[in-house]
Amino acid sequence: MEGLGFFGTIIVGGLAGWLAGMLMDLRFGVFMNIVIGVVGAAIATAVLERAGIWVEPGAWGGLVSGFLGACALLFVAKLVRR
């Protein structure tokens, strides 16, 4: 998540992780939401860039890529949990 700074990345990552947790019906704590959102954003950005899809840098682009990546991470976690 370029251009957001440290605290912006934490806020946007936490929001993305929380939204993904709500959609995927998996609830974690605030810290895990932040971790899932930030890691998900990094993974989604790498995958999207590899596919030739460019994501707008900043808060909205970070939120979208974080949400997509967090949903993918939570999907895998749901599969592993069962």
Dist CA 38 CA 52 (whole Å): 21
**Residue pLDDT, tens place only, 60-74:** 888 888 888 889 988
Structural domain of residue 19, as residue ranges? 5-81
Q: How many residues does the chain have?
A: 82
Three-class DSSP category at 43: helix
| Segments in the chain below pLDDT 50 | none
- As for how many domains the chain has, the answer is 1
Global pTM reads 0.81
